[in-house]
Structure 1
């Protein structure tokens, strides 16, 4: 007997998890003497009430789409890639090297090479933990966590000692040439008469992220490779019996995952900062884990979850700016969402499944 319909797993469970997280967040806000209803209104107004707010919400969501898709591909192969943060850092280095050292006539050419640079560097950083698991049995969770720290140290060294311009104190590269700077959503929409905020950082990499959702869907659900990855994730023993190589699946899945994480840097490095800075990833690699979990490892679900976390990031920033609610409490709200959509998912899932089973039995009689 099916425990519950597909729509309940895809929509109802995440909604209930999200509702519980917001209710508990409201109680915390109430406990510090603030009105949770006013706080919610402030978040909605700050994130969705203007083109400026939408610009930042979509900017953050673009990062989370890339990292969420990266985590979801690894999940489908029964691997927990926690290295998205480090892979995005190293991907940013690939983007920076392409933009700084290759002369481009126009951004449309530059972005293609930057995508390749970010994807190759991110994939290369994921390749080592993948090989260690496939050939040596080293658990990918442990190795990818360690590689986050190695990536941070390596990037710090390169920025301070190699790529930092003379006379510059901050650990960052020089500004990218003008021909590599990406148009913002304002630049894209202005010619067709739509007025969008000039100061919002969302740029054309948003469209690349949306295209990535479609490509990942076609790869995972409409190709032989995607079928093999999903089959391996469901049962490695059965997939081996069917002739699927574990080494191939582990390597390919992690390369795709690392490549998507590395491509995130076209948004924050090439699109927003227009240079490589030390802390450009800002935790997006870890948020991608929550996005993938909440989106049930499906590209459409990842897109919706990324928009939600983009809303939380931008709305939370406005909340801490215009109210007495500290920024740390906004992080608590985000943590509660992650907690209930991830670690405590079964707390909601189990009673909902029992309710559907009881309903099905009553219907059968």
Structure 2
């Protein structure tokens, strides 16, 4: 008689040799125990897949991350800018006429035009090796940081609104109102040094916050779209400030017919950080502190958690008990204060001899580009602001030294935004892996335990 624990050679109860489940019939010797059988053939038939190494995982995360897209977008924009520089250079145009006779001349001319332009860009924004002393050579870097100060502050304001799911393009209006309030306090009051600057700074922050808070309040209470509201508030702020600059007793300088304010008083001006020979002022320190503050709010505070929850899914956040309407108002208040800091740094740090309605200098819209390049993260915005500050500082040097139109720098900035807005294009050009098609980890083989009755 055959052993009842052996499967029959045929029929419905037969099992394959590599089965993972053992069957015990009631009344058998092993009926009182739990057995798990996994044959050697089953282990051999399922080869073990080694998990990817730590370096492979790290490289894959870098290749599929957002940071590499931003870096490659800048590289692509610089390449396109180099092509434009070469096409607009007179020497390249002359050498290209006899390209087929002497192609080397064209190649040399292209190299000289592109390398000369980008060398001038570097020397105008980072370090000028033609200067005699280190103090004179480092001046371009201080100019870069000076230009970057309002860009970083404005980018933080736009990026914070992005994290809450709002598109704040009212930076121009918020900067104008903040600059007007800070400037009015700066030239219209006599206060001790330090206190005067502090009062002007707080006044400007409050002005920008309240102006942006209008858009947040309208969105929270009436559902008005913040894009339309902030665009309209830009026009309102511009024409309001223009009117005040033409009205004696408000912002217009006494005895002047020009739409310009008086000079700021010495007690209200931001002090220079490195001495009077440099333009870098205390506003840069404030911007560094603002970056740390925004990072702490978004990463370490409960308010930042609510901001991110609302930005990801406002309906789910509402179900979780978060007051979504209040988050919209709070976010726009903080964003307006940050853009107000950009306006204050213009008035009290850069244009201290009086300002006009063009005090924003397009920074309100450039801040959108900075926020996009920085991926709406505080430290990413900080680096992006310094990069764009370098473009602004080095663009004028490039134009003066090599005759390259400064508009090419604007084209490069626009191309950066274009490439950032199209990550699949960047991944295709550089053959980067698609993060949505990441390989899945192999599932382990699980054996099943059967307990006999």
Same-fold status (TM-score > 0.5): yes
Structure 2 stretches lacking a partner, 5+ long: 1-56, 93-112, 128-136, 444-453
RMSD: 2.4
* 1:127 to partner: Cα distance: 1.5
Report the CA distance shift for 1:359/1:166 in structure 2 as closer, same or farther (over 3 A). Answer: closer
Does 2:127 align with 1:45? Answer: no
Query: 1:183 is matched with which residue?
Result: 271
User: More displaced, 145-154 or 222-231?
Assistant: 145-154
Query: 1:71 is matched with which residue?
Result: 158
After TM superposition, the structure 1 = structure 2 runs for residues 198-277 of structure 1, keeping only pairs within 5 Å, are 198-274=276-352, 275-277=354-356
Provide the secondary structure at the position in 1 that maps to 2:246: helix
Please, what TM-score do these two structures have when normalized by structure 1?
0.90
- Paired with 2:310 and 2:431, the residues of 1 have a C-alpha distance of 28
Cα pair 2:143 2:280 within 8 Å, conserved? yes
* 1:201 to partner: Cα distance: 2.2
* 1:120 to partner: Cα distance: 0.8
User: More displaced, 200-209 or 228-237?
Assistant: 200-209
After TM superposition, the structure 1 = structure 2 runs for residues 135-174 of structure 1, keeping only pairs within 5 Å, are 135-161=221-247, 162-174=250-262
State the aligned residue count.
Answer: 352
Larger radius of gyration: 2
Report the CA distance shift for 1:110/1:363 in structure 2 as closer, same or farther (over 3 A). Answer: farther
* 1:223 to partner: Cα distance: 0.7
The structure richer in helix per residue is 1
Report the CA distance shift for 1:47/1:225 in structure 2 as closer, same or farther (over 3 A). Answer: same
Does 2:253 align with 1:132? Answer: no
* 1:143 to partner: Cα distance: 1.3
- Paired with 1:204 and 1:11, the residues of 2 have a C-alpha distance of 30
- Paired with 1:99 and 1:301, the residues of 2 have a C-alpha distance of 32
- Paired with 1:157 and 1:212, the residues of 2 have a C-alpha distance of 32
User: More displaced, 231-240 or 50-59?
Assistant: 50-59
Does 2:348 align with 1:306? Answer: no
Query: 1:28 is matched with which residue?
Result: 84
* 1:258 to partner: Cα distance: 0.7
- Paired with 1:81 and 1:6, the residues of 2 have a C-alpha distance of 30
* 1:5 to partner: Cα distance: 2.2
Cα pair 2:150 2:341 within 8 Å, conserved? no
Report Cα offsets for 1:143-186 as digits up to 9, x if no partner: 11121122111111111113212332432211122211222122
* 1:339 to partner: Cα distance: 2.1
Query: 2:180 is matched with which residue?
Result: 93
* 1:200 to partner: Cα distance: 3.4
Cα pair 2:62 2:68 within 8 Å, conserved? no
User: More displaced, 343-352 or 173-182?
Assistant: 343-352
- Paired with 1:213 and 1:264, the residues of 2 have a C-alpha distance of 13
Cα pair 2:63 2:432 within 8 Å, conserved? no
* 1:360 to partner: Cα distance: 4.0
User: More displaced, 154-163 or 251-260?
Assistant: 154-163
* 1:357 to partner: Cα distance: 6.3
User: More displaced, 145-154 or 246-255?
Assistant: 145-154
Please, what TM-score do these two structures have when normalized by structure 2?
0.73
Counterpart of 1:113 (choices 181, 199, 204) is 199
Cα pair 1:320 1:330 within 8 Å, conserved? no
Query: 1:192 is matched with which residue?
Result: none
Provide the secondary structure at the position in 2 that maps to 1:186: coil
Report Cα offsets for 1:40-73 as digits up to 9, x if no partner: 1110001111332122211111011100100111
Structure 1 stretches lacking a partner, 5+ long: 188-197
Does 2:174 align with 1:81? Answer: no
Between the two structures, name the one with larger relative contact order (CA 8 Å, sep ≥ 6): 1
- Paired with 1:249 and 1:352, the residues of 2 have a C-alpha distance of 40
Cα pair 2:63 2:433 within 8 Å, conserved? no
Cα pair 1:319 1:325 within 8 Å, conserved? yes
Report the CA distance shift for 1:218/1:28 in structure 2 as closer, same or farther (over 3 A). Answer: same
Query: 1:320 is matched with which residue?
Result: 399
